[in-house]
Each structure stands twice: as C-alpha cells, then as structure tokens.
Structure 1
Amino acid sequence: MNGFRWQPEATDGAARAGHLHTAHGVVATPTFMPVGTAGTVKAMTMDSVRSTGAGIVLGNTYHLMLRPGAERVQALGGLHRFMDWPGPILTDSGGFQVMSLGALRKLDSDGVTFQSHIDGSRHRLTPERSTEIQHMLDATITMCFDECPALPAETDAIAASMRLSMRWAARSREAFVARDGYAQYGIVQGGTEPQLRAESVRALTDIGFEGYAIGGLAVGEGQALMFQTLDGTVPLMPADKPRYLMGVGTPDDLLGSVMRGIDMFDCVMPTRSGRTARAYTGFGTLNLRNARHALDPRPLEAGCPCPACTRHSRAYLHHLFRADEILGPMLLTWHNLTYYQRVMQGIRTAILETRLGAHAIELRAGWAAGDPPP
C-alpha cells in the first residue's frame, strides 16, 4: 500500500517543496495546518477555512475523546464528515494535552491516567488506546503517543522521558491499522540535547513510519535554541519522508524552520490571536483594540483577499472588538489564517524558483518595518 507518500519537487538549500499524497487528497508542501482541536477551527466555518488556501487541518485525540467521544464520531461517519472537511486531517495523539494537566494526571510505564478538565471524570490513555481513537476518528495521519516534558528539565529526566516515548512509539506502531493512503508519524523527542535527539531519530527510523515529527519544542526555549535544535536534528531524519514541526509558530518561526528542512506545521497562534484582536500582516503585528485605528478607513492589509481586508476598514474592525461583537474574532481569524497560508505559498514559490534567501530577507524586512503611516 503506497498511496501515502511525500513527493519532492524542488530544493533550495535545506528547504524543500513537494506534494503530500494521501487518501483524502494531495497537499502542497511546505504547509501550515489550521488547528481544529475539537472538530472545529475556532470562529471559522470549514468553507471559510478552505477559502484561506488550507489543504490539511489538525484535530486532537484528547479533546475529541472527551467530547463528543470517538465512538460517537465514528458512528456519525468519521471526523471528515462530522466537521465537513473532506481533505486530509492529522490528529495529535493527546500526549501533549494530557501532560499539560499537571496534578490531574498520573504517568506510568504503560500510559497515563487523568481527570477530564471538563467534568473531572477519570480516563486512561495508552499508546494502543490513542491509536485506536485516532483510527475511529478516521485520521488521515495518526500521531504516535508520546510524553512531552516541560522545559527546562534535567538531562536525565529528558532522557528517561524520550526513551519512554520511544517504547510507546513502538507500541503505537504495532497498534496502527495500515490502510492505503493513511499514515502514522513518529515523534522525535529529546529536549534541546543533540545526543538525545539523535538517539530518538535512530529509534524511530528503526521502527519505521510514513513520516516523522519533531515534538517538544516551542515550549519556552526561545527561537535561537529551537533553530539550533533543528540544525542538529533535521539532517538526521529520513530525506524521503515528510517532516513535521509540532506546535510552531510565528511567521518568522515558520520561515526559519522551512529553511532548515521542515515541511509541515501547526499552531494555535493565528486563531488565538484572531480572537484577541492581534493581526498578523506583512508589516508585523497589529492590535486592533488600539485607539489609533478608531478613525482609520484603510483596509487592515492592502492586497489581502480575505473579507476582513476586502470589505471592511480598520475602524470597523476596531469597533467590533471594542463592542465585543463576535464578528470581530471571526473576521480577524479569517485574516490571520489567510496570511499564514500566503506566507507558506510565498515560501513555496520561492523554493521552486530557487530564491528563498532573497525572499526571506524581504519578508523579515517587511515585518521589521512596521505599520506604514496613512
């Protein structure tokens, strides 16, 4: 069964452009996946998500197993039908969310017992159960169950956590039900320790997955250390498989990571920022609650095709947020996701034309320049 594959198209330095072939369609890479944690990209219809240019979205095992329940989603035809997204869906295994529960969870060598943050009910996730839930959801790309330790941490603790994750990866792979066009990704762990990251890559490639992710970054270590970790990790990963950096990040994080060989990303930043009046643009970020926008008739960003920019003024967007109108978060989320997809498309085009270095300089100069005066 070879329906799932990453097909390379062009390179520019370490950066790669290609196509991800899946059971639910083909996705151009590098790609950014909007986060649809609980079966919805917050404040967006799926038609509006499609209009941004997104080709693949993310769902989450932890949230969907608690509400509405994987069995219910399966009975209703799977997550694609349930949320009206016929394209590819990647599901996070739930490991990061469970580990974020702190005192509400108890870890052992077999898995994790935890209390729901919703109603306090007790649940258990193991590599086998996480994989089973993702199968019931009909995830196009399943993630292996892992532990993601908080940083900073002692090297011995990071090593123990990584090795537990590698044992869980083997069990996740054993539980995975292979189907044509579907995939499972292994997750490289090891904090910011080069030797532990290398050990993790070796363990995962020995198991064998259709793709490989890098987890445990963007957890407070800072961009410089994140990029340093990528510099030491990505070259060790299989060159013929897709590479996914989990939970990252700002537009500049995406740019720098693509330049280091990453193909896939997800992050809540564009949607969360859209709900809090923060706009991403080619000239940096704007706070639409700021009083300076109250009388500004200009579009948020000239040339952007989203409805926030083509149909409304900054003054109107400012009014919506000041009045706590739900339309404000909706329009700004639409804009932010559109901007992220424009950034990724621009990067991809620059790779295809072998001019990524010059394009990166242009992007960063724009972000640094700030909002042009009226």
Structure 2
Amino acid sequence: MAEKIFSINHSDASCGARTGTLVLPHGTVSTPVFMPVGTNATVKALTREDLAEIGFEIILSNTYHLYLRPGTEVIGAAGSLHRFMNWDRNILTDSGGFQVFSLPQFRKITDAGVRFRSHIDGSYHELTPEKVVEIQTTLNSDIQMQLDVCSDWGIDEKSARKALDTTDLWLGRAKRAWDEAAEKGYRGKLFAIVQGNFYRNLRTRSAETVIEADTPGIAIGGLSVGEPYDVFREYLAFTAALLPREKPRYVMGIGTPEYILDAIEQGIDMFDCVFPTRTGRNGHVFTRRGTFALKKAENRLDFGPIDAECQCKVCRQYSRAYLRHLFKTQEILCSMLASYHNLYFLHDLVLHARNAIEQDGFADFKKSFLSRYKEKEA
C-alpha cells in the first residue's frame, strides 16, 4: 500500500469541500492550495522572496522545459532544482506530456514513448515513462507526475480510447521506475493521472486503473482543454466522485476563481495555472468584482488601489493610475506588480475558502464571492 502523505482536517457539511495537510519532503502543505507555475525554474516576474512573502508552500515547474534548457546535467550538478533556483519549499513537476501534446507538428506518440523535436533548436528527443521519472528524480521533485497522453476536446471515442490505452501502459512503467528510484533513496511522490477525455466509460476505466496503481496521490487530467464551462463542471464532478477520499486530488491547469471554487466544492485539494501571471504581464488584474485591464482610459486619473479590499503590498502602495502608466510605457515593473497582486489574490481566495470549509460554510462563501465577482467593474 502506498505511503500515506495526506490527512483530511475537516470536511464541509454543506458540500464535498475539505481542508487537509499534505506531508512532503520540503515541508507540509495546507490544502486546498493553489500552486504558482514556475515553468523555467522561476515564476515569471516574481522573486523567491515574493513567493515566500505571499505564503506559498509549493510551486510547480516543468519537466519538458527544464530537460531542454538548462538540462538535467546542470540541475543535477547543482544538487537539485531547489538548490538551482534557491527555493527551499516544495516543488511539483509535471511530466511534460501536455507540452508535447501542444506541439502536434513536432511529435510522434507510440507505446514506447513520445519522439519530438525541440521548439528551441529543432533537435530530436525521446521521452519514455522511465526517462520522465529519471528526469524528475534528478530534479528531486517533491511530487512528480507520470507521463500521459492528453487528448483534445471534441475527439471521437476511438481516438480517446487509444490515448487512454497508452496512458495506462505508461502508468505501469512509471510506477515501476518510481519504485526503483525510491529504493535508492528518492523521497518524492508519484501522482498517477486520470484521463479518458469526455467519455464517462473511459473516465471510469481510467480511475479504476489509477486506483489499482496505488500511487500516493491522484491527478485529474484532460480538463480545461477547450471544453465549455458546463462540460468542465460535469466531468470534474463525475471524475472526483470516482476517486478514493483518503488521497490528495489534483486538477491540472485551472487558475480563475470560478474554476478554483468549483474544484474545491468537489473535494479537489490542489490546482495550478499560468493564467494569473500571464494575464498580469498583459495588464489584466483580479478584483473582487471581476477582472479589468489596467490600460483602460478610465484608470488614467484613478488613484485608488486595484482592489480596495486587498491587503497585498501592491494595493497598499500603488494606484491604478500609476500601474496604467507603467503598462502604457512598457515598464517591467508593471508585470512584476500585476503578477504579484494576481497571485496574492488567488492565495487569499483559497485561504478564505479554507476558513469557510472549517465553519461548514463553503457553499455560502462560494455563492457570495461569485455573486460579487461577476458584477461589472465600475
């Protein structure tokens, strides 16, 4: 039986939401938790001090990108990804499967693995389930993901089944490779991934395979890949209900309040997305009444904060007018401040969600938050 790394602290009486504690090699993580994405061993536009100041206990980085640049030789020589980027808290690394999936003209998938061309220099590479485990072991990831096949929204059932067959095959091989690494002293945890596209029978089959593999945690893949919002909600709820209650659940690639709160309501413990920092760099910011663009002319003489209720240092020290000026003049500081605010906003949202769960009031909290969040920004 897999090592127990997760404990449920409280289950909300009003829905499936729960709070918990995840025990990992670089410290405990309180859940639910949003994880900032640091694709290239950095969360874009933020320092490690910024991330620690906000309160993040775990961040995400990307196996595909780090494998290509700077390469495992460099990170291995540094001792670990943690030492390389000077981050002493937890790191989850994805398998690189989604990045390969997003470059269809450069890759070929077989049962053996995936052969692809680098988006950097066109060189050919091959990733197998075993090699992906090896790479993430060199990175010393606290949580590593199995190599999987992510499939498009709208594909037919035959194609979805073929992708799932490969993912299932790769899971068994990844599990064996991870077991061997653990026997040699590696302490990171492997998460299997539920796939199956948008077919209930395939999702059910995938969940059964993942449960049988008995990895320390489970991820729900293949969501937020272009499907309508109501389809996302339907398949999130359906898949979550198939999973064992005692293991941590992770939904990949969600980073807006609506999606995060939906996930928490279904008992999801972990989620990540590039959205808050990517939109921050493009001058879009979160507020409790929705998002807005800093570049809008209406902000030119607005000397109030991004969000009057936000306690982050950006809202305490800088005005909308100033941030608009930075954006219009293409100053790097705009990306830094907007990204900081957006990550603080989501971290704060999850903290309030945890408090609501502890008081058996998450359903009311979600309803109240979203009723304001969807209001038109004045």
TM-score range, shorter chain: over 0.9
Q: CA deviation at 1:205?
A: 1.2
Residue aligning to 1:193: 199
Q: CA deviation at 1:255?
A: 0.1
Whether 1:221 and 2:223 are equivalent positions in the alignment is no
Distance (whole Å) between structure 2 residues aligned to residue 157 and residue 249 of structure 1? 28
Q: CA deviation at 1:4?
A: 5.8
1:289-337 Cα deviation digits (max 9, x unpaired): 1111011010111232322211110000000000000000100000000
Distance (whole Å) between structure 1 residues aligned to residue 136 and residue 229 of structure 2? 31
**One-letter amino acid matched to 1:155:** E
Whether 1:278 and 2:293 are equivalent positions in the alignment is no
**Partner residue of 1:42 out of 37, 41, 44:** 44
**One-letter amino acid matched to 1:301:** D
Residue aligning to 1:55: 57
Task: Tell whether the 8 Å contact from 2:33 to 2:270 is kept in structure 1 after alignment.
Answer: yes
Whether 1:315 and 2:321 are equivalent positions in the alignment is yes
Higher mean C-alpha displacement, 83-92 vs 296-305:
296-305
SS in 1 for 2:41: coil
Residue aligning to 1:294: 300
Residue aligning to 1:158: 160
Give structure 2 stretches of 5+ with no counterpart: none
1:34-73 Cα deviation digits (max 9, x unpaired): 0001100000001101122211000111000000001210
Residue aligning to 2:99: 97
**One-letter amino acid matched to 2:288:** G
RMSD between aligned residues: 1.3
Q: CA deviation at 1:77?
A: 1.5
Residue aligning to 1:148: 150
Residue aligning to 1:9: 9
Between the two proteins, what is the percent identity of the paired residues? 42
SS in 1 for 2:152: coil
SS in 2 for 1:248: coil
Distance (whole Å) between structure 2 residues aligned to residue 231 and residue 141 of structure 1? 24
1:145-195 Cα deviation digits (max 9, x unpaired): 001011110011001101110110111111112257521000000011111
Cα–Cα, structure 1 residues 201 and 11, in superposed 2: closer, same or farther, change >3 Å? same
Count of paired positions: 372
Give structure 1 stretches of 5+ with no counterpart: none
Higher mean C-alpha displacement, 296-305 vs 343-352:
296-305
Distance (whole Å) between structure 2 residues aligned to residue 368 and residue 208 of structure 1? 40
Distance (whole Å) between structure 2 residues aligned to residue 227 and residue 72 of structure 1? 41
TM-score (norm 2): 0.96
TM-score (norm 1): 0.97
Whether 1:107 and 2:106 are equivalent positions in the alignment is no
Q: CA deviation at 1:208?
A: 1.3
Residue aligning to 1:306: 312
Distance (whole Å) between structure 1 residues aligned to residue 52 and residue 130 of structure 2? 33
Distance (whole Å) between structure 2 residues aligned to residue 22 and residue 171 of structure 1? 23
Q: How does 1:209-288 map to 2 (within 5 A)?
A: 209-288=215-294
Residue aligning to 1:30: 32
**One-letter amino acid matched to 2:319:** S
Residue aligning to 1:75: 77
SS in 2 for 1:369: coil
Distance (whole Å) between structure 2 residues aligned to residue 2 and residue 169 of structure 1? 15
SS in 2 for 1:9: strand
Distance (whole Å) between structure 2 residues aligned to residue 312 and residue 185 of structure 1? 41
Distance (whole Å) between structure 2 residues aligned to residue 371 and residue 105 of structure 1? 43
**One-letter amino acid matched to 2:85:** M
Task: Tell whether the 8 Å contact from 1:3 to 1:180 is kept in structure 2 after alignment.
Answer: no
1:59-93 Cα deviation digits (max 9, x unpaired): 11100000000121011121111112111100000
**Partner residue of 1:332 out of 338, 345, 354:** 338
**One-letter amino acid matched to 2:51:** V
